[in-house]
Amino acid sequence: MKEQLSKGIYFCIIIVAFAGILNSPMALILGFIYTLTLNNPFKAQSRKAIGYLLKISVVGLGFGMLISETLATSKEGFSLTVCSIVLTVSVGLLLTKLFKLDLKLGYLITSGTAICGGSAIAAISPIIKADSKTISIALGVVFLLNSIALLTFPSIGHFLQLTQAQFGLWCAVAIHDTSSVVGAAIEYGEESLRIATTVKLSRALWIIPLSIFSIFFFKVKGEKFKIPYFILLFILAILINSYAGLPESVTSAIVGGAKRLLIVTLFLVGTTISIEDLKSVGLRPIGFALSLWVFISIFSLGYILYV
């Protein structure tokens, strides 16, 4: 009976989220409370669904962008992207030694912080032959910091009086996962969302050079890496919106649906976070990840404001 009730509430919340009644922070918090009180019966399915729904949402958002604006935004964020990735990886390797953390664990958390959270961890872990426990801890830490970022970044942005352009760029660099980047940017405004999505996805392409670096750094042979192909679909959506002449009512409907689907995704992200998982992570990995995250957040904010 309790399991049936739990399943019913699960699907009801998804319907409410897709209806546009919840915002990003509410969806994430509600997901966490749901798992805390009712023990999510779809935890494995939720984790799989997050990746698919996020990709669909991001591609849908592409129908609200123009190629000229996208290229200008990508060019504007390029230098910050390069500097932040190189610095994050360098500082991450240094902090791994200072915190006396397992090298593979430190490297996975560093990769997730440098580029795109769980996606980077998923791409790098088979290359460096990380075991399941190491991967789980790295993902747990990144999900925790993502949740904190989604809840706090919009308030910090308003407190510092950041423009939508500044906040979108800051989100794309300083928040790990694309889901939390887009979720935080939605709360700040349309321009912020456009910039954050564009810069974050162009940043995700750096998984390729990071994968090549990983092969040499860990001296592994014969390993392959995954290219984030859904980014090509995002670019295709932008091209269609720019040149196909689709009615505004159609593109607006697609973008609106994508935003609502993202809220559903954030609820699912919340359902995958549990107290038991957080306890199993340990203090040193959290301290390491938090230190690295604070560093890149402050560096990128200073760069945006003063450089």
Dihedral (CA of 276, 178, 57, 224) sign = negative
Tens digit of each residue's pLDDT (9 = 90 or more) over 42-63: 888 888 888 888 889 988 998 9
Interval 263-288 mean pLDDT: 83
Tens digit of each residue's pLDDT (9 = 90 or more) over 135-183: 888 888 888 898 899 999 999 999 999 999 999 999 999 999 888 999 9
Separation CA 236–CA 249 (nearest Å): 19
**pLDDT for the residue 45:** 87
Residue 235 placed within a domain: yes
Number of separate domains in the chain: 1
The fraction of the chain above a pLDDT of 70, given in percent, is: 97
Residues with Cβ within 8 Å of 108's Cβ and at least 6 positions away in sequence, in order, are 121, 124, 125, 128, 130, 134, 135, 138
- Find the length of the chain: 307
* 222 band by pLDDT with thresholds 50, 70 and 90: low
pTM for this predicted structure: 0.84
Residue 201 has pLDDT above 90, yes or no: no
Contact of 201 with 98, CB cutoff 8 Å = no
Interval 100-126 mean pLDDT: 90
**pLDDT for the residue 170:** 96
* 197 band by pLDDT with thresholds 50, 70 and 90: very high
Query: Out of 109-123, 199-213, 218-232, which region has the weakest mean confidence (pLDDT)?
Result: 218-232
Domain of residue 204 covers 2-14+21-35+45-306
Separation CA 301–CA 307 (nearest Å): 10
Describe the crossing of helices 283-306 and 132-159 by its angle, rounded to 10 degrees.
Answer: 40
Nearest to 254 by CA among 67, 60, 21: 60
Interval 222-234 mean pLDDT: 74
Residue 287 placed within a domain: yes
Residue 137 placed within a domain: yes
Residue 73 has pLDDT above 70, yes or no: yes
Residue 97 placed within a domain: yes
**pLDDT for the residue 179:** 87
Nearest to 39 by CA among 65, 63, 62, 5: 5
**pLDDT for the residue 75:** 81
Of 35-39, 96-100, 229-233, which one has max mean pLDDT? Answer: 96-100
Contact of 35 with 47, CB cutoff 8 Å = no
Residue 40 placed within a domain: no
Structure tokens at 198: 């564009």
Residue 129 placed within a domain: yes
